[in-house]
Chain A
Amino acid sequence: MNSIIFTAGARILVALLFVFSLFMLLRGHHLPGGGFIGGLLGAISFIVYALACGSGEARAALRVSPEGLAIVGLGVALAAGMVSVFFGDPLFTGQWYWVGGDSYETALFSINSVLVFDIGVYLVVLGGILSLAFAFDEET
């Protein structure tokens, strides 16, 4: 698309959307959000960039191949699910370690396997959608 207004607007929009996608990813689990919705938003930000500057530019900005991103995400999600073996729980049981408290309300923050799983899902969705979107853009 060859529009100065869109290209200029895209610069702001892309950054905003991408940061918002990370915000959604981190907000997830206890509040609406999470890896899937975050991944979709992240993919939208790159698609806007690809529409404004071409998918070649967008691929360069992503730095790694979207297919690789998706498959690594699958591995990350799988590994996060497997962590529960060390705690004797059934698979994919979330493991939580609360810092400065013992629950969501009282603790300062938590270290958990759920976020790792969500990051995996984020990467799968981002990579999967982008590999489709870039392929479409390059076809036409």
Chain B
Amino acid sequence: MMSWLLVMPIAIPFATAVVVYLLRMSPSGRWVSLFGSVLSLVASVALLVAVLEHGVIAAQMSNWDAPFGITLVADYLGVVMVVITAITGLATAIYALGEIPERVEKLGYHALFQTLIAGVTGAFLTGDVFNLYVWFEVMLISSFGLLVLGGSREQLDAGIKYVALNLVSTLVFLSGIGMLYGVTGTLNMADLREAVANAENQGLITVIAMLFMVGFGVKAAVFPLFFWLPASYHTPSFAVSAVFAGLLTKVGVYALMRMFTLVFVGDVGFTHEILIWVSALTMLTGVLGAAAQTDFRKILSFHIISQIGYMTLGLALYTPLAIMGGVFYLVHHIIVKANLFLVSGVANKLAGHTDLNRIGGLYKSSPFLAALFVIPAFSLAGFPPLSGFWAKYLIVKASIELDNWIIAFVALFVGLLTIFSMTKIWGMAFWKPHPDGYDPTPDRAPDHVRVPMMIPIVGLAAMTIVIGFFPEPFVQFAEVAATQLLDPTQYVETVLGARPEALFEVQPDIQPDAAPGVRP
């Protein structure tokens, strides 16, 4: 039963991908894709309910006991990421109904999209480091496909940069995995905790930890490693860039959070201290980079980087409050950032461009869209009482509690500069008149395009408001998630179960003739 709950959020998008690829020539494909996204959300919520009941749940694929087989685990952090992935997936699937042209659908857009969602979900649920690498590859392949699907020169250019730098990251990650396996002889995350703590050569473990940090750091786009992100995120279709902006970098942050609370905790003074300064520089460079841009999506892309800094900072400070803030930030950011990219898509449809110098007048002619932009934008900047305020509050409070005033100052200062960027978009895209002298009224996009594009924006904005006004349950949830991360006893016990006995007994069913399991 547990096994099914854990597998469904991964299996449904894969199954949907198969069906929609076969239906790619017919207009019904997009509805099947939408239906698959709804099913994924239902499955994720079912998993959430089970996790709320049990705390941590785990399942062994193919009936191979941990640490030998592939384990799927869902704790509070994992399951909330799965749910938020399903929500973002559903939002962009609706959005795609309006935005994605038939030509791109026939090339297999929906299949790639569903595979991407499956990859992201898999990365959040896996309890095995090598399996995590496999999910990274699934994500990389499908996201590359989505990036270049339009086939323009600009998109290919972005795609090459994206893939080249991400391949370097996976290579570093893979070397780390190889060395880790050489040192400990296991790759199951729960098993690694003990194995890494007991390893003789702790210096080597720290080296491996740094390899992991670089590998995940590229994925998460932290300070010196973020160059691929602003080079690629402004080129694909808006639905795709919303999924990328919301989810892909967050997988890197999640992986950092998982590995640096569960496995690499032997030398916190060294590894997490590096992370603190990396986070501070990430926040600063991201927000300063954004100040220099005039393209709607490029500004937002640089802001992803600066926001990533807050999340890794939550991890780096390594106190219960800070990690709780990091988890809260992660959830809030996915919703808000995906929504801003969706808004930029509608602005592009109405006003004709994403370059802020070439558009304007959206406030006068589309006040509803303007209101929907203000909600995520102010939330991103951390205005009370929107969700971003609580997220920033927790992080800043955690750094003040540690008497780390420089970090607290940087975090607040970056918030201020974020407001500057958001008001720049507001002033140029919404406030000033359109330079070509026409009114970008909503009816410039026909109903069948505009309505599906607006529904997810309204939905995500509503979620931002709900989190902002009723933060209590979400904060409590994040608190439990942080407690589980800092004390993963339950995680380890749930995954490994009754392993000590099992290891030393001869197991009758591990004979070659009755070997369970499937291997390629």
Contact partner of B518 (CB less than 8 A), chosen from A68, A71, A92, A104, is: A92
A71 B22 Cβ-Cβ under 8 A: yes
- A47-86 interface (Cβ within 8 A of B): 67-68, 71-72, 74-75, 78, 80-82, 85
Given contacts A91-B7, A91-B62, contact A30 B514 (CB under 8 A): no
- A107–B4 CA distance with the chains assembled, in angstroms: 32
- A26–B397 CA distance with the chains assembled, in angstroms: 61
Given contacts A71-B22, A72-B18, A90-B59, contact A114 B513 (CB under 8 A): no
A93 B516 Cβ-Cβ under 8 A: yes
B518 A80 Cβ-Cβ under 8 A: yes
A104 B15 Cβ-Cβ under 8 A: no
A93 surroundings in chain B (CB, below 8 A): 62-63, 516-518
17 A/B residue pairs, CB under 8 Å, sorted by A: A29-B515, A34-B519, A67-B21, A74-B14, A75-B18, A78-B15, A81-B518, A82-B11, A89-B63, A91-B7, A91-B11, A93-B516, A94-B516, A94-B517, A104-B514, A114-B518, A118-B520
Tell me the smallest distance from the CB of B355 to a CB of chain A, in Å: 32
Contact partner of B62 (CB less than 8 A), chosen from A78, A92, A121, is: A92
The verdict on A97 contacting chain B, using a C-beta distance below 8 Å, is no
- B490-520 interface (Cβ within 8 A of A): 512-520
B519 surroundings in chain A (CB, below 8 A): 29, 34
Enumerate chain A interface residues (CB-CB to B < 8 A).
29-30, 34-36, 67-68, 71-72, 74-75, 78, 80-82, 85, 89-94, 96, 103-105, 113-114, 117-118, 121
A89 surroundings in chain B (CB, below 8 A): 63, 516
Q: Chain A: interface secondary structure? A: helix
The verdict on B163 contacting chain A, using a C-beta distance below 8 Å, is no
B19 surroundings in chain A (CB, below 8 A): 75
A29 surroundings in chain B (CB, below 8 A): 515, 519
Tell me the smallest distance from the CB of A130 to a CB of chain B, in Å: 15
Given contacts A75-B15, A75-B18, contact A91 B517 (CB under 8 A): no
Given contacts A72-B18, A78-B14, A92-B61, contact A104 B513 (CB under 8 A): yes
Interface pairs A-B: 5 shortest CB-CB = A104-B513, A75-B18, A103-B513, A90-B3, A121-B520
- A4–B512 CA distance with the chains assembled, in angstroms: 48
Tell me the smallest distance from the CB of A111 to a CB of chain B, in Å: 15
A35 B520 Cβ-Cβ under 8 A: yes
B14 surroundings in chain A (CB, below 8 A): 74, 78
Tell me the smallest distance from the CB of B61 to a CB of chain A, in Å: 5
B59 surroundings in chain A (CB, below 8 A): 90-91
B3 A91 Cβ-Cβ under 8 A: yes
B61 A90 Cβ-Cβ under 8 A: yes
Tell me the smallest distance from the CB of B119 to a CB of chain A, in Å: 13
A105 B513 Cβ-Cβ under 8 A: yes
A75 surroundings in chain B (CB, below 8 A): 15, 18-19
B108 surroundings in chain A (CB, below 8 A): 67
Closest partner residue, chain A, to B11 (CB atom) = A78
B18 A94 Cβ-Cβ under 8 A: no
The verdict on B481 contacting chain A, using a C-beta distance below 8 Å, is no
A71 B17 Cβ-Cβ under 8 A: yes
A74 B18 Cβ-Cβ under 8 A: yes
Tell me the smallest distance from the CB of B360 to a CB of chain A, in Å: 42
A105 surroundings in chain B (CB, below 8 A): 513
- A121–B519 CA distance with the chains assembled, in angstroms: 9
Closest partner residue, chain A, to B3 (CB atom) = A90
Interface hub of A30, A34, A93, A113 (most chain B Cβ within 10 A): A93
Contact partner of A71 (CB less than 8 A), chosen from B60, B111, B514, is: B111
- A91–B516 CA distance with the chains assembled, in angstroms: 11
A113 B518 Cβ-Cβ under 8 A: yes
